[in-house]
Amino acid sequence: MREFSTPALVEIEASATLTDVVADRAATAPGTVMLRRQRPDGSWVDVTAEDFHAQVSALAKGLIGAGVGPGDRVGLMARTRYEWTLADYEIWTAGAVTVPIYETSAPTQVAWILGDSGCTGVLVESGEHASTVGLVRDELPDLRHVWVIEHGALDGLTAAGAGGRAGGPPAMPAGPPARTDARSRGNSAALRPAHKTPRRRYRTARRPAVR
């Protein structure tokens, strides 16, 4: 069998993580438009590298201030939207692990995913999703927080991360972080009965410095 190879065009450090690109792009090309998000009136607004980095950093500090630590699991239940991407990077940057949940999941599926992974918090899109979590809250002893995106949760976390609460913004720990080969874990286990679902392992992402 023939084999072909070419030299790598870009060298990636072994310690690199997906969150590095957010800080690197903000430092090297702050005005570059990275994303676009839709306003409530249907119009679109550009999000630059600098803006996205600032939003992710403030939200990550807000999560840390709420008690989310390295290796913690945080659920994310929402449709595909700008806030989903923002929340995903926010969770990674705080050193935690994103546990995605389909927005159409039934209460029993939500209970299994959050319980099996040991989520300490969950970001949900709407009040309807919060109600779904509420139906099984008694089955989730590790769950301390339910943040609702459409009820201003991201604004609240941002304010906390920016020092909106007494005591100023939370400090970022300086210890050496653990690494992982996966940042977010899928949730196909929720589609199978609990007694047939193997225990899944979740590992933490490296926590980068948030300035």
Give pLDDT, residue 195: 39
Give pLDDT, residue 201: 47
Between residues 177 and 117, which one has the greater pLDDT? 117
pLDDT at position 86 over 70: yes
Taking only the tens place, the pLDDT of each residue in 111-165 is 999 999 999 999 999 999 999 999 999 999 999 999 999 999 999 999 988 764 4
Residues constituting the chain: 211
**Farthest-apart Cα atoms in the chain, separation:** 66
Q: How high does pLDDT run on average in the chain?
A: 83
Give pLDDT, residue 77: 98
Which runs of E-coded beta strand occur in the chain? 33-38, 44-48, 73-77, 97-101, 121-124, 145-148
Give pLDDT, residue 9: 84
- How far is 25 from 114, CA to CA, in rounded Å? 33
Give pLDDT, residue 191: 37
Give pLDDT, residue 137: 97
What is the mean pLDDT of the segment spanning 69-76?
A: 96
For residue 90, what is the DSSP state?
H
Give pLDDT, residue 210: 52
What is the mean pLDDT of the segment spanning 3-10?
A: 85
